[in-house]
Amino acid sequence: MNLTNLFDEIARVDPEVYDRVDARRGVINRFARMGSRLAAAAVPVALGGLFNKAYGQQLPTNVLEVLNFALSLEHLESRFYQTAVGTPGLVPAKDKITVIRDHEMKHVTFLQQAITSAGGTPVAEGKYDFTGKGTFPNVFSDYKQFLQVAQAFEDTGVGAYKGQASALKSSNALLTYALQIHSVEGRHAAHIRFIRMVNGYAKVKPWIVGDDNTKGTPTERIYQRESDHRQVLINLRGIGGYDVGDAATSSFDEPLHKDEVLAIVKPFLA
Amino acid sequence: MSFFSPPPPLALAPPPVGLLRRSFLKFTGLGVAGVALAAAGCRISKDEETNSVEVGKHDLAVLNYAYALEQLEGAYYEKVVAGFYAGATAMEKDLLTDIRNDEIAHREWFREVLVLKKVPRLEFDFSSINFTDRRSVLTTARTFEDLGVSAYNGAGQLLTLSPFLNHAGKIVSVEARHAATIRNLLAFGSFADSDVVDANGLDVVRTPPQVMALADKYFVTKVKVDELPTH
């Protein structure tokens, strides 16, 4: 039984299943055209010097767009943490916000190099309004509010990388690098949430429980899918005879699509 | 289970079912092609002589590899929560119970989504762990969570189908949240230390053989991943 052929067959018969789950027609079309092993050979690229050395060709525009989209988010996060850490008296040293700042700065450099090496032009850093047009007026004077915005950025980052994963399938290297950044953002999100939890600043866990009671608040769009307790029709409530409680929603993080991410960060662009 | 009886998850499907069921069947590799798959006898059975299972290759094998790791994590936290270590705080009990529930949800989800082609329930050996000792329990948890993150990060590129990749992505960030939390319980601020995040700000990635080699001592039923591609 050749599973590769089987999947090929499925994709040809019914591409809508991919539409529903990942909503990126380009991926499906490439898939249908090239067959299911596209990940192995379709657009062979790697990062840094590997690009030119191994292949000497440019990345497709849409992949470069994904990388620049990721870079624009990393710029935002990087400037946010640099500003916070540079603000006297805001961030307690013991909370290691500097670790997160350093990672975001490295992500910026890494993505800039990747895009340049691939023949693209890295987007420049933007101008930001971290108050979110006045929604978080004390973001750099009230540590609790800073953490609230930090959590919003980290959870958005996690959802954003997740939403782009399948758009990077044409390159094993790029997909893997994106996943490696994605899980670091997940660690950051958990840490920010952990700080808020142990200090009693907010009723949150390191993981996202339902929509975290954000309905009607400025951050609700980040958690718009998180209340879903079904994954591909499988109900996680009572799954396998187990009462998993809040894990019916917390056990799976949900993706955010590009337009959703842009809408979420829009108030933070000056 | 008969190959032609509807898979159990469908009983839970809400209306309107028609379109969704079709997609679900495609997702799980059933449907018309799935009948062929079942007829070809693709169930994964245990080799009793060597007490091992071979996951095979391609996407369903990658998912079975993930399923095996979720079984390991689930069984571990079930034991942790069944009798907490001495001095466990209310917060620690709460967080570890949450993590146990997440891992059970992952495990049982894989068990259902892999309708036919799945590895059996596996046996584990946790004799190297002192479940009454906080440090022993949490350092093992840290190992499992960091290992899980690196495993999913390495498995992404092995998955050819977007729905599978997307769902692996939904799980791995939750594992990363667990990892950061356990690390913070062990040493606050170590959520993303340099032993797991490199100079480029990237998390660890491991191939299936690298992961299984590190987890080997916990598996009584051995899981063979030799046929999986590593890149």
Give domain status of residue B169, yes or no: yes
Task: Count CA within 13 A, CB hemisphere, residue A64.
Answer: 15
Asked if the model's pLDDT at residue B170 lies above 70, the reply is yes
pLDDT of res. B231: 67
Task: Report percent pLDDT > 90 for chain B.
Answer: 68
- How large is the ipTM? 0.86
CATH assignment of the domain containing B144 = 1.20.1260.10
Task: Report percent pLDDT > 90 for chain A.
Answer: 74
User: B13 contacts in A (CB within 8 Å)?
Assistant: 233
Give the range among A73-87, B50-64, B209-223 with minimum mean pLDDT.
B50-64
Nearest beta carbon to residue B153 from set A176, A232, A251: A176
Q: Do the Cβ atoms of B173 and A162 come within 8 Å?
A: yes
Per-residue pLDDT band for B56 (boundaries 50, 70, 90) equals: confident
Residue type, A40: A
Q: Do the Cβ atoms of A190 and B181 come within 8 Å?
A: yes
Domain, as residue range, for B136: 55-117+127-220
pLDDT of res. A38: 30
State both tokens at B180. Answer: 């950061």
Beta-carbon contacts below 8 Å between A and B: 279
Give domain status of residue B72, yes or no: yes
A12-21: average pLDDT: 36
Q: Do the Cβ atoms of B179 and A187 come within 8 Å?
A: yes
Domains and CATH numbers, chain A: 3-202+254-268 (1.20.1260), 209-252 (no CATH)
Give domain status of residue B16, yes or no: no
Query: What's the pTM value of the predicted model, to 2 decimals?
Result: 0.84
Give the residue from A84, A79, A88 showing the smallest Cα distance to A147: A84
pLDDT of res. A58: 58
Give the range among A136-150, B7-21, B158-172 with minimum mean pLDDT.
B7-21
Give the residue from A37, A237, A188, A220 showing the smallest Cα distance to B183: A188
B119-147: average pLDDT: 97
Nearest beta carbon to residue B160 from set A36, A105, A185: A36
Give domain status of residue B46, yes or no: no
Give domain status of residue B3, yes or no: no
Asked if the model's pLDDT at residue A43 lies above 80, the reply is no
pLDDT of res. B68: 97
Q: What are phi and psi of B222, to 5 degrees?
A: -75, 140
pLDDT of res. A6: 31
pLDDT averaged over chain A?
83
List, for residues A114-164, the tens digit of each pLDDT value.
Answer: 999 988 999 999 999 999 999 999 999 999 999 999 999 999 999 999 999
What's the Cα-to-Cα distance from A179 to each of A102, A149, A162, B69, B114, rounded to whole Å?
18, 23, 8, 18, 24
Write down the residue that tokens 């935002």 correspond to: A76
User: A194 contacts in B (CB within 8 Å)?
Assistant: 180-181, 184, 191
- Taking the CA of residue B190 and the nearest CA in chain A, the distance in Å comes to 9
Interface test with B, best of A12, A73, A91, A184 (most B CBs within 10 A): A184
Q: Domain total for chain B?
A: 1
pLDDT of res. B26: 55
User: B24 contacts in A (CB within 8 Å)?
Assistant: 232-233
Q: Do the Cβ atoms of B170 and A10 come within 8 Å?
A: no
| SS3 label, residue B47 | strand
